[in-house]
Amino acid sequence: MTDEIKVDKTLDCTGLLCPMPVVKTKLAIDELAPGQVLKVISTDKGAKKDFPSYCAETGHTLLKAVEDKGAFIFFIKRA
């Protein structure tokens, strides 16, 4: 499932509700260089819509979003 995409950092937000996954993603992505990829795991039901919005607003690229047994996994490339 995670083929081809090279992940530079993984952030596990399992068990956290909004807004924590987005806040933690912001802090984690700040530590990456432009072009690097952050993998985020979130079990918050709102994440499915929140992360595409977060990426649209910040300009980071959402490379891939997968749903896996109640967890959402996002691959975000820093702008």
State the nearest-atom distance from the C-beta of 79 to another protein, in Å: 8
> Which residues of the chain form contacts with another protein (CB under 8 A)?
15-20, 22-23, 25-27, 53-54, 56-59, 61, 79
Q: Tokens for 77, please give them.
A: 């490339």
User: How many distinct helices (H) and strands (E) make up the chain?
Assistant: 2, 4
Rounded Cα distance between 70 and 57, Å, is: 25
**Of residues 5, 18, 20, 27, which has the active-site annotation?**
18
State the nearest-atom distance from the C-beta of 57 to another protein, in Å: 4
Rounded Cα distance between 19 and 7, Å, is: 23
Known active-site residue 55: no
State the nearest-atom distance from the C-beta of 75 to another protein, in Å: 16
Pairing of strands 37-42, 9-13: parallel
> Catalytic amino acids?
18
